[in-house]
Structures are given as structure tokens and as C-alpha cells.
Amino acid sequence: MYEFLWWWAFALLPLPILVYWLSPKASADNTLALKVPNVDEFELGEWVEQSTWQSRLKLLLASIIWGALVVAVARPVWIGEPVALPFSGRDLMLAVDLSGSMRETDFELNGRMVDRLTATQYVAGDFIRKRQGDRLGLIVFADQAYLQVPLTFDAATVSRLMRESFIGLAGERTAIGDAIGLALKRLKDNPEKNRVLILMTDGANTAGSVDPKEAADMAAKAGLKIYTVGIGSDANMVNSAFGFSFNNPSADLDEGLLKLIASKTSGQYFRARDTTEFSRIYSELDRLEPIEQEGKQWRPQHELFTWPLALAVVLGVGLLVWRRVE
């Protein structure tokens, strides 16, 4: 449908008539006269008729030009069909461990062994792409916690910057408490029921200035729900030159702390031992933190003022040229 955003502009249509009526008339000087020696040679009747026709045509063109300008000022728009907008009240902050232990290659991805960070980036990236309508943010942490991406609806940017993160970017140790504290700081002004942090780590808290338990207490008071993900495969027996030996890649993983953090903040703890289990975790997170559609709609608007404006310009130039060649 068509609509005029500034419909009041049509009140300007009679302005030229008002100016004509209200402007003072030029006084006629009766002392001046045009004397023509031979009137018949000028074919006066035909000249007067042609002059009257041209005057009327010029008046019509001027009226069209003024009308087109008023229509352009009224801002005509074409309003399209309603488009449903995906929207969610969820603000999801992801905190990813970039400490040195994430170099451990105990995950299999597409038939090859990869390190823990690569597996995290692969699985979490797919989760991010599915969160259309959520505001997402990214925190990376090791010796300290850094905000990599503030909350945004641009899921593609969050996914790209997660892929570009690398081990050692923030140090070699693990500051879990600092990561929680930074997430709490970035989410404190958001509605309590919509604050969610997904914290992924493969170790224990070995750095930082904030105690993880105290950070969890503060998060619980602020209404920040934390889901924790422990990364790393189970202990196994490996064959070496000296026979079988016991290997535990996840010896440094502090599952007790991660469970405590999740419990205090009404979240949940997950264990990612392989990429299949990792994927199931994110499917479960989709179920626990669904994207809430609120039925908002948007009707696209296309501005049309350029058409009447272009018509006024073309006719105006044409009228100006006509007057000059007379």
C-alpha cells in the first residue's frame, strides 16, 4: 500500500494562489502606448491566440511542477507485506579457555585428531550460527579474561572471531574467576532472567585475581545463570615402548569446581569427552535456553519521493529552456 509520511505537506498546495492574491498588483501606466503603423501585417488575432495557448501551457507545467514538489515533500512510501522478526530476550555470553592445556590433541574431528580448542571452535561455531535472534558475546581467558566480542546480534562476527582465537592469546594459565567476573560486569545491566554464561574450560583455576567460588556467589545474587563445560577425554591405557601405561589427559580438570559454579547459579555442568558428546551438549543447551519468538513484525518501507522530485526537475528545466528560446 502507498502512504504519505508527511501528509500535512499537502497544505502547501494552494500557496502559489495565496501569494498571487495577496501580492500587490503592479500599477498600469496609461501614458505609454505601442503604436503599430500597419496592424494587418502582424496578423494580430493569430498571435494573440498563440500567446494565450502558450501562457496556459506554461501555467499548467508550473502547476504540475509545484504539485510534484509538494508530493515529494510529503514523502510517499510503498509499505510492503509484514515480515516476522526473530527476537529473543536471551543474552548469551560464551567464555572460552585459551590456556596452554587446550593444545592437547585428544579430540577426533572428521577422521583426524585435533586439539581441544579446534574441537571447541567447530562445535561452538555451529551452536552460534543457530542462535539467530539472540544477542551473543565472546570472552576469552587464560592468565586474564578479555572481552573479544561485546553483546551483538551479529552471530557471524562472533563465530568468525571465535575461529580466529588461538591458544596463548591470553596467556598460558587459567583464570576462571576472572572470566565469570568479566561476564557479570558485561551483563549486569540486562534483565536478570535473560543473563546466561556458557563457560568452557579444560583445567582448574590457576590464575586471576577473582576467586571462582566468590565469583559464582556474586553471579547467583545478580541472577546470572552459568552453564559450565568440562573439556577433555577420559583416562585410558596407552601402548608404549615400555608396555601399557595409564594416561589421563584430563587430570587437571577441576570438575568439582565447575559443578559447584553451575549449581550455585542454577545452571548445569556438562562433560565434553569427544566431539559427539560436545555436539549433544549444545543441543541440550538449545533445549534449556530456547530462542523465544515474540511475534514482532516489521513492514519494509521503500521511499518514492525521488520520482515526483525527478519529474519536477525535468519539467522545470524544460520550462526554463522554453522561456529562453522564445
pLDDT digits (tens, 9 = 90+) for 10-65: 998 888 888 878 877 655 555 555 555 555 544 555 555 556 777 788 888 888 99
Angle 255-264/176-187 helices, nearest 10 degrees? 20
Cα–Cα distance for residue pair 99/215, rounded to 1 Å:
20
Please spell the DSSP secondary structure of 143-174, one letter per residue: SSEEEEEEEES-HHHHHHHHHH--TTTT-SS-
* Higher pLDDT among residues 234 and 149, named by residue: 149
Q: Are strands 297-298 and 83-84 parallel, antiparallel or unpaired?
A: antiparallel
Choose among 161, 205, 180, 200: nearest CA to 285.
200
Nearest CA to 199 out of 254, 136, 262 is that of 262
Give 41 or 317, the one with higher predicted confidence.
317
Mean pLDDT within 89-117: 86
Quote the percentage of the chain above a pLDDT of 70.
Answer: 79
pLDDT band at residue 137 under the 50/70/90 scheme: very high
* Strands of 54-144, DSSP E: 76-79, 83-84, 91-97, 107-109, 112-114, 135-141
DSSP-derived secondary structure for 116-136: HHHHHHHHHHHHHHT-TTSEE
Statement: the pTM of the whole predicted model exceeds 0.95: no
Q: How confident is the model at residue 238 (pLDDT cuts 50, 70, 90)?
A: very low
- Cα separation, 118 vs 272, in Å, equals 13
Give the number of residues written for the chain: 326
